Amino acid sequence: MSDDIYKEIILDHYRNPRNKGKLTAPDISAQDNNPVCGDRISIDIILKDNVVSDIKFDGEGCAISQSSASILTDMLMDKTVDELSKFTKDELLEELGTPSLGPARIKCALLSLKVLKIGTYQYLGTELPEDPEN
């Protein structure tokens, strides 16, 4: 896909975010912010038989961080908890279109993935790896 198509996808998710909001009594729930800019993302997940049956994100910030959360939550529906814990940054960046992202924006793009990993590892009761986005 061309850079323009990726930019259009990002803008579409920013203007019309999918899965935005909060869930009541989520099984997995976490939030974090980018300490540099203060942008914030939270993710709530409801599981059924260890599989994502509902997922929402909330937050505020730049187009990349918010659209990345929207895209990520779309990608995670019906995944198992094990798949959530193993979800890689490459999978997300590929969907977002890394060619159009400079290094400064990669952190914006990975904020939602970091929140997912914080929540998933908390749920599993295991320690968060040093580089949780991987």
Exposed/middle/buried for 43, CB within 10 Å: 0-12, 13-18, 19+? buried
Size of the site for ligand FES (CB under 6 A): 9
Burial of 78 (0-12, 13-18, 19+ CB in 10 A): exposed
* For ligand FES, the closer CB: 61 or 119: 61
52 contacts 87 by C-beta, under 8 angstroms: no
Comparison of 5 and 37: residue with beta carbon closer to ligand FES: 37
**According to CB under 6 A, which residues from 38 to 77 bind ligand FES?**
39, 61-62, 64-65
The span from the CA of 43 to the CA of 130, in Å, is 20
Which amino acid is located at 15 in the chain?
R
Report, in Å, the least distance between residue 14 CB and ligand FES: 11
Measured from the CB of residue 60, what is the shortest distance to ligand FES in angstroms?
A: 10
Please report how close the Cβ of residue 124 comes to ligand FES at its closest, in angstroms.
26
Contacts with ligand FES by CB under 6 A lie at 34, 37, 39, 61-62, 64-65, 108, 111
